[in-house]
Amino acid sequence: MNETRTIDGHDIELSHLDKVYFPESGITKKDVVDYYERIAPHMLPLIKDRPLSMHRYPDGIGGEDFYQQGMPDYFPDWIDRVKVSKEGGSVTHVVCNDAATLVYLANQGFLVPHVWLSHADRLDYPDRLVVDLDPPDDFDNLPSLQATALRLRAVFQELGLVAYVATTGSTGYHIYVPIKRDMKFDDVKEFAHAVVTELAERHPDELTVEQRKNKRGTRIFLDTLRNSYAHTVIAPYAIRARPGAPVATPLAWSELEKGAVEPRRYTIKNVFRRLSRAADPWADMERQATTLATARTKLASRKK
């Protein structure tokens, strides 16, 4: 099944829309394309002007998958892009700034978008810090995951920073902190690691900063590795390649305070009902951006 859609003034040829992408639930490529077109007003403000990498599933989640950073030569000229220097050359990334681009990518089988923590105009300077709360395999203690998110928010609050939370659509939560673009990635990563190390030291039986899985045991890994140049994080409202097509979903802290929210709770089938009933919990994120300088000084002073 093929069709042509005109979005943002661009005619986009859509193909094989009846291909099944999620076999266990019968979700098709058309469902995925429709989702990204519909979610665009909510998603685009959170990913605009950022280099994009894509996890591609051309035959759905049961087929071959691969990551693709570079923008193929055949992509149309109207798609925004940025050239990023790398060792031995450069790579051109897609910058997704409109619904037409989001739909075009979905039609190409790019199921899961990942975004940089910095903008295309200042690639070295992130405006978001992120911590991934990564539980071990077969983890079934959702209240502990919930408590960890709330504890981490409290630590950031102690340091004068505002934190936001999202489900990953997989197994954990992502904690975001909006920051001023006045520090490079290495400094931001060092600060983030210092924060989570302090939290792990407060709760050593539940939390760890150990990168090696065989050293973590049953503890939740506080992962700050994404705060590195050219690393990415799953985009808010991105579909995950998991049964049922769960979605990485921004939450309000009040939702966690009332009880644990399962990381795969929201899917392409129910997230719009949520969005129709609740205000955007991240609406003021950019306005809450704070320099890390004062927070680093506070953190350093209490380690003495």
Stretch 201-216: mean pLDDT: 95
Beta bridge partners of 229: none
CA separation for the pair 210, 221 (Å, rounded): 7
* pLDDT tens digits, one per residue of 149-202: 999 999 999 999 999 999 999 999 999 999 999 999 999 999 999 999 999 999
According to the model, what pLDDT value does residue 12 have?
98
CB distance 103 to 183 below 8 Å: no
Percent of the chain surpassing pLDDT 90: 94
Residue 278 has pLDDT above 90, yes or no: no
According to the model, what pLDDT value does residue 88 have?
83
* pLDDT tens digits, one per residue of 117-150: 999 999 999 999 999 999 998 899 999 999 999 9
Q: For domain 128-230+286-301, which architecture applies?
A: Alpha-Beta Complex (3.90)
* pLDDT tens digits, one per residue of 215-246: 999 999 999 999 999 999 999 999 999 999 99
Angle, helices 142-158 vs 185-202, to 10°: value is: 120
pTM: 0.96
Residue 106 has pLDDT above 90, yes or no: yes
Residue 304 has pLDDT above 70, yes or no: no
**128-230+286-301 has the same fold as 3-116:** yes
Nearest to 265 by CA among 169, 187, 186: 169
pLDDT band at 279 (very low <50, low <70, confident <90, very high): confident
According to the model, what pLDDT value does residue 52 have?
97
Stretch 33-51: mean pLDDT: 98
**What mean pLDDT value characterizes the chain?**
96
Domain assignments of the chain as residue spans, ordered by start: 3-116, 128-230+286-301
* Residue with the two structure tokens 């979005």: 7
pLDDT band at 302 (very low <50, low <70, confident <90, very high): confident
* pLDDT tens digits, one per residue of 5-33: 999 999 999 999 999 999 999 999 999 99
Angle, helices 99-107 vs 29-47, to 10°: value is: 140
CA separation for the pair 227, 233 (Å, rounded): 9
According to the model, what pLDDT value does residue 129 have?
98
Beta bridge partners of 67: 55
CB distance 7 to 37 below 8 Å: yes
According to the model, what pLDDT value does residue 260 have?
80
CA separation for the pair 61, 22 (Å, rounded): 6
According to the model, what pLDDT value does residue 87 have?
82
Residue 66 has pLDDT above 90, yes or no: yes
Q: Taking the domain 3-116, which CATH number applies?
A: 3.90.920.10
Nearest to 247 by CA among 149, 155, 169: 169
According to the model, what pLDDT value does residue 72 have?
94
